[in-house]
Amino acid sequence: MGERARVVNSTVCGPAVLGEGCYVVNSWIGPFTALGNHVVVEECEVERSVVMSHCRLRGVGRLEGSLLGEGNRVARRAGRPAAYRLVLGQGNEVELP
């Protein structure tokens, strides 16, 4: 765990790396997961994934086998209509349930 990293009401199952200034709350961080510096994870499950610095994950359920580049924000929006909103650059791969 990096300096100033905080884990609140959450479980971290190693091996896992949490970078400097990470904030994990009401979440589960599974094995083989690396969170970069200043990543915020709220109400999520993350396993076998790499989340680069300055990302925010909020209420997205479970992420597994994922790679998120620096500065991405992923959140579940409440209300209807329920839909996915994607903004992707060239050459991405997305799998939706």
Per-residue confidence in pLDDT tens, the chain, 97 aa: 899 999 999 999 989 999 999 999 999 999 999 999 999 999 999 999 999 999 999 998 899 998 898 999 988 877 777 777 777 777 777 777 7
Round to whole Å and give the CA distance between 14 and 77: 30
Predicted local confidence at residue 93, as pLDDT: 76
Integer angstrom CA distances of residue 64 from 29, 30, 90: 10, 9, 22
Predicted local confidence at residue 45, as pLDDT: 96
Beta strand segments in the chain, E? 6-8, 11-12, 16-18, 23-25, 28-29, 33-35, 40-47, 50-51, 56-64, 67-68, 73-75
